């Protein structure tokens, strides 16, 4: 998967040129390949996997290889020569002419050998260690999933934020264009004495205000473009193809709550911590029991005394009888820690359920607002058209035309913002329920309602 993402990124860079045409799906692929947060979580998963493999090694025999070559100060020997004086008084023998010194070990010697230890009974230490490593691996997977969900939500904010800013610029540009045309008409009418000068001054004021709003919108669009580039890793001009949208049927609240209970990465992580605390109890309980292991060793020697054996086998027991109740207190502490994590898990379940409820209501609220603003846009558009016709016929004032233009622009921006807020709330809702990947399905839903700048 990682290799395919890399190839896609390379192809995208070399084929896009100075402009990158991005659907949300394309942006997501690039973001997942570029995100340092996701890469970091993947390395954490890899580290946990290696720790799990290391824990499995505890079941196998432990084999050590050792060797040395030693040169001592002198030979190791026993001197029986003083016995000659005692025994010589009673015996006479040629043996008394010999050196009665017996060398046990030469001063220079070497050896190489190995020893093996096979655990027979450890009180459950090895089992607990392997279970803990497995739980830690699952916890790393949960954190990796959370990093991916957070990244998707961040991309939604930046991708659709750039689209919103681009549409606002279009609205502001249209307002400026309309005000300039209206100001030109006002100047001709003033020359003919058909309007008051104060109306011309008001037209100039609103044009200056509209130009200021346009500059601010352009700057905001530039900022959102940079944030989208930062997320996707692109340095080119970006053209988006997935519009801001709303979906009238997102599902019921209970389905999101069930999904969160089963898939929320934070709840999964806390559950893994509870299981880890449980294994910590087992590990500390095992410390109260003895350890039994089979041991054996042997090897090759050079100039080592024959008195020493060349191999040995046996069974060893290790059990600390008293250590100041240290093990007992650690065992009691592990049980208290487990109860603490248990309570945290209960509290987290309540908080996530409340969060889902809040985000669901927020999503529905933005959906309702976007739908109602569609009527407002239609009304303000028609109202502006009527006012322009009336002004050309001298049936209304310049001020009413200007206010109608401002109201139409305002209603368009408000509808765009409501739809954008719906997309963000939906992404956060899916993140809380642990199903951020399904946001793509909403983007590509055939029944979605596209919300964008409306030309007039």
- 208-220 confidence digits (pLDDT tens): 999 999 999 999 9
pTM for this model (two decimals): 0.84
Instruction: Give residue limits of the domains in the chain.
Output: 18-59+123-288+324-450
For the chain, residues with pLDDT lower than 70 are: 1-18, 87-93, 96-97, 456
Could you give the 3-state DSSP secondary structure of residue 248? coil
Q: Which of 167, 273, 258 has its CA nearest to residue 218?
A: 167
* Locus of tokens 């002004």: 391
pLDDT at 456: 67
- Rounded to 10°, the helix 197-232/24-34 angle is 50
Q: Which of 385, 456, 452, 404 has its CA nearest to residue 168?
A: 452
CA–CA separation, 126 and 59 (whole Å): 7
Helical (H) or strand (E) element with 298 = strand 291-302
Measured torsion, CA atoms of residues 127, 133, 138, 141, in degrees rounded to the nearest 10 = -160
- In 72-216, where do the E strands start and end? 76-79, 101-105, 108-121
In the DSSP assignment, the letter for residue 409 is: H
Cα–Cα distances in Å, from 317 out to 63, 118, 121, 292? 18, 12, 9, 5
120, 315 contact by CB (below 8 A) = yes
CATH fold of 18-59+123-288+324-450, please?
A: Outer membrane efflux proteins (OEP) (1.20.1600)
Please, how many CA atoms are within 13 Å of residue 412, restricted to the half-sphere of its CB? 25
Q: Which of 343, 321, 419, 320 has its CA nearest to residue 377?
A: 419
- Alpha helices of 264-325 — where are they, by DSSP H? 265-286
What is the widest separation between alpha-carbon atoms in the chain? Answer: 159
pLDDT at 310: 84
pLDDT at 293: 92
Could you give the 3-state DSSP secondary structure of residue 117? strand
pLDDT at 17: 52
Strands 108-121 and 62-71: antiparallel
150, 37 contact by CB (below 8 A) = yes
Return the ∠ at Cα 269 (arms to 268 and 275), rounded to 5°: 90
* Locus of tokens 């100075």: 18
pLDDT in tens, 95-108: 766 777 878 888 89
């Amino acid at each position: 998967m990682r290799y395919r993402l890399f190839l896609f990124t390379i192809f995208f860079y070399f084929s896009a040129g100075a402009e990158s045409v991005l659907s949300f799906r394309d942006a997501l692929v690039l973001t997942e390949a570029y995100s340092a947060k996701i890469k970091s979580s993947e390395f954490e998963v890899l580290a946990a996997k290696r720790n799990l493999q290391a824990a499995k090694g505890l079941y196998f025999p432990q084999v050590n290889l050792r060797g040395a070559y030693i040169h001592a100060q002198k030979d190791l020997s026993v001197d029986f020569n003083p016995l000659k004086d005692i025994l010589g008084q009673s015996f006479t023998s040629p043996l008394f002419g010999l050196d009665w010194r017996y060398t046990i070990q030469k001063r220079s010697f070497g050896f190489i050998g190995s020893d093996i230890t096979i655990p027979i009974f450890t009180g459950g230490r090895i089992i607990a260690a392997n279970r803990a490593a497995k739980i830690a691996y699952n916890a790393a997977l949960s954190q990796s999933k959370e990093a991916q969900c957070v990244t998707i939500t961040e991309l939604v904010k930046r991708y659709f934020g750039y689209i919103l800013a681009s549409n606002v610029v279009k609205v502001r540009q249209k307002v400026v264009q309309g005000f300039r045309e209206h100001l030109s008409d006002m100047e001709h009418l003033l020359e003919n004495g058909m309007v008051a000068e104060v109306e011309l001054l008001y037209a100039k004021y609103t044009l200056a205000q509209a130009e200021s709003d346009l500059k601010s919108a352009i700057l905001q669009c530039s900022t959102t473009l940079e944030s989208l580039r930062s997320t996707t890793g692109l340095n080119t001009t970006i053209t988006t193809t997935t519009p801001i949208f709303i979906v009238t049927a997102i599902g019921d609240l209970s389905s999101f709550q069930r999904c969160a209970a089963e898939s929320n990465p934070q709840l999964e992580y806390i559950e893994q911590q509870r299981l880890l605390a449980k294994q910590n109890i087992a590990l500390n309980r095992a410390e109260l029991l003895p350890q039994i292991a089979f041991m054996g060793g042997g090897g090759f020697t050079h100039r080592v005394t024959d008195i020493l054996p060349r191999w040995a086998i046996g069974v060893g027991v290790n059990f600390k009888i008293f250590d100041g109740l240290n093990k007992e207190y650690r065992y009691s502490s592990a049980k208290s820690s487990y109860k603490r994590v248990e309570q945290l898990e209960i509290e987290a379940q309540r908080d996530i359920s409340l969060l889902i409820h809040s985000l669901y209501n927020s999503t529905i609220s933005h959906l309702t607002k976007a739908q109602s603003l569609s009527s407002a846009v239609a009304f303000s558009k028609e109202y502006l058209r009527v006012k322009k016709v009336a002004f050309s016929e001298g049936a209304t004032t310049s001020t009413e035309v200007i206010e109608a233009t401002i109201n139409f622009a305002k209603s368009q921006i408000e509808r765009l913002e409501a739809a954008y807020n719906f997309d963000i709330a939906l992404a956060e809702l899916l993140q809380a329920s642990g199903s951020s990947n399904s946001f793509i399905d909403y983007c590509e839903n055939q029944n979605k309602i596209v919300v964008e700048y409306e030309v007039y």
